[in-house]
Amino acid sequence: MAGLYVTAQRLYQVRVGLRVSPKVPVHIEASVSSSNNAARTGRPAANASLIGGLAASRPFQIMYRNEEVTLRDIVHFRAHLLGKKVVPIA
């Protein structure tokens, strides 16, 4: 699941999460990292973050219609399936 959120200052932010079936017992871990190219590109140096179980990109501004924005934010999801261990019968 992904979404694009707009703040009052017209800054945009991409939020992503991992959605699984409610029937599957699972524990989801998320971590984010960003490259250090923000200073070279003139973009704000704020990093990606976790907000309520969702990974959120750093805020960015779109100045022109159809402008391409490179975020370089990396999100890692890890899903741990919870359940009983099945032992094969020999």
Q: What are phi and psi for residue 67, nearest 5 degrees?
A: -75, 135
**Cβ neighbours of residue 41 closer than 8 Å, sequence gap 6 or more:** 70
Q: Mean pLDDT, to the nearest integer, of 10-17?
A: 85
Domain ranges, ordered by start, for the chain: 2-81
**Whole-prediction pTM:** 0.62
For 23-45, how does the pLDDT look when each residue is reduced to its tens digit (9 = 90+)?
888 888 888 876 655 444 555 55
What is the number of helices (H) and of strands (E) in the chain?
A: 1, 7
Residue 35 is predicted with a pLDDT of 63
Q: Kindly report the average pLDDT of the chain as a whole number.
A: 77
